[in-house]
Structure 1
Amino acid sequence: FVGGRLGFHRRRAPRRFTPAAEPYRVNRLIRAPRVRLIGEDGHQFGILPVEEALRIAEDAGLDLVEVAPTAKPPVCRLLDYSKFKYQQHKKEVQAKKKQSTTTVKELRIGYKTDVHDLERQIERAREFLLHGDRVKFSLRFRGREMAYQHLGREKLMTVCQALDDVAEIEGTPKMEGRRMEVRLVPRKEPLKPETAEQDAKDDSA
């Protein structure tokens, strides 16, 4: 009788685990003489001698896992420990992904950058954006080039328009010292070709 239901399981001896390698006490590693036992499906067995809890786990073909060691008495659950560890690992990986910061890739151009070099930088930016990274284009003015800021702005807007299907502009181009910068962030869903074409027509209208 396990978890409030009758079941037929192949009886097996509790598996042995090395203390240093496991984050939880499992089976014979549990030291408390009495534990509060919870079944695999949440059924409350109540407080039992640890030997009886081990016998129930053995009859169910499961492991006895101490999930709350500081409780009095400690709380144990009937689990498939290998499956439990795998699920915990997946949760940790997902949590790390959420915590990871987005990389900002900087690409530099000049207002005199020729068409081929500009196209190459645009393709690099596209790869970064599709990978989920943010992109910053910076255009540096040297000496008297400061008088041609309008040309630099036009070049940056050309870049933004070329990447409109995969990116959104984070603000307008702005000056930082002798540099003009614009930042692009990945679109949550890249635009379909026909949608991008329509947006381009609307912008030029």
Structure 2
Amino acid sequence: MTGSALAERRLGLYVGGSEHFVPFRVVWRDQNASHLMLFAVSCASLLARSALFLQTTHLVHNLGELPIRRPNRAPPAATKDGPRTNDEIRNATIQLIDQNGTNHGTVETVAAIKMALEAGMDLVEISPNTAPPVCKIMDYGKFKYSAQKKAAEARKKQKVVEIKEIKLRPMIDDHDYEVKMRAMQRFFEEGDKVKITLRYRGREMAHQEIGTKLLDKVKADVAEYAKVEQDARFEGRQVVMVLAPR
């Protein structure tokens, strides 16, 4: 074997036995071909992803330039407070009651409105759920005022009664007593009850008759517009009495 052949054999690789000898230059060439193929595939994949990213970015950019469409929300229709009057009554015919309480039966709405205007009044729908609806000729301003007054009286009757507290001392002076009594009278006028708390301190417990006389004076002073709901009773070192408006 020549020297060059021996050197070439030393720079080779036996594969599967001595009869399958592959030189290193062939191995290097095959490996580099595989690496180049993998590199080409990776580059192609990267280019494809880059192209997709650019297309997406361009699309988002264009969408961002589009004007924002806001939903068309119409304002809610205003609802009328109270009954329909005059030309607000859309029915062709109505059952008419005049200002004197006379029932005219079924009448055309236009004619009824004319009658109301000639009388210097209004045509007011008082029973909309009948067929045809019942309408009456009246002074709507006075009617509305009367309805509001009745509603206010009903709310006044439904007022939640509160219990206000007035604190007294057995040795209270005349000025403070008058201030307390004026406040008490205001509470009664508003429909509230009053809880009177009379507290004894120290040696005052030895003179309970002073507090008893004071509470009797309070009951006498408010007898015109208040009554005793709960008579005086001890709760520890204090006496409690509840008064209610008449």
TM-score by structure 1 length? 0.64
Give the Cα separation in 1 of the matches to 2:120 and 2:173: 71
Q: 2:147 aligns with which of 67, 76, 88?
A: 88
- CA shift in 2, pair 1:147/1:30, >3 Å: same
Give the Cα separation in 1 of the matches to 2:120 and 2:178: 63
Give the Cα separation in 2 of the matches to 1:166 and 1:148: 30
Q: 1:44 aligns with which of 95, 103, 116?
A: 103
Between 1 and 2, higher relative CO (CA 8 Å, sep ≥ 6) is seen in 1
Q: Secondary structure at the match of 1:184?
A: strand
Structure 1: stretches of 5+ with no match in the other structure: 1-18, 188-205
- CA shift in 2, pair 1:37/1:186, >3 Å: same
Aligned to 2:84: 25
Write the letter of the residue equivalent to 1:108: K
- CA shift in 2, pair 1:22/1:134, >3 Å: closer
- CA shift in 2, pair 1:87/1:120, >3 Å: closer
Give the Cα separation in 1 of the matches to 2:173 and 2:115: 76
Give the Cα separation in 2 of the matches to 1:164 and 1:35: 57
Larger relative helix fraction: 2
Query: Any idea what the Cα deviations from partners look like across 1:54-81, whole Å, max 9, x if unmatched?
Result: 2332333322111111111111111122
- CA shift in 2, pair 1:173/1:98, >3 Å: same
**Stretch deviating more after TM superposition (78-87 or 154-163):** 154-163
- CA shift in 2, pair 1:124/1:74, >3 Å: closer
**Stretch deviating more after TM superposition (77-86 or 123-132):** 123-132
1:63 maps onto 2:122 in alignment: yes
TM-score by structure 2 length? 0.55
Structure with greater Cα Rg: 2
1:135 maps onto 2:194 in alignment: yes
How many residues were matched structurally? Answer: 169
**Stretch deviating more after TM superposition (172-181 or 40-49):** 172-181
Contact 1:67/1:75 (8 A) holds in 2: yes
Structure 2: stretches of 5+ with no match in the other structure: 1-77
Write the letter of the residue equivalent to 2:88: L
Aligned to 1:109: 168
Give the Cα separation in 2 of the matches to 1:147 and 1:155: 15
- CA shift in 2, pair 1:84/1:128, >3 Å: closer
Contact 1:153/1:180 (8 A) holds in 2: no
Contact 1:37/1:53 (8 A) holds in 2: yes
Query: Any idea what the Cα deviations from partners look like across 1:21-44, whole Å, max 9, x if unmatched?
Result: 541111111111221111111101
Give the Cα separation in 1 of the matches to 2:221 and 2:114: 68
Identity of aligned residues (%): 38
Give the root-mean-square deviation of aligned CA atoms.
3.2
Write the letter of the residue equivalent to 1:25: R
Give the Cα separation in 1 of the matches to 2:196 and 2:232: 9
- CA shift in 2, pair 1:54/1:177, >3 Å: same
1:75 maps onto 2:141 in alignment: no
Alignment of 1:120-131 (within 5 A): 120-126=179-185, 128-129=187-188
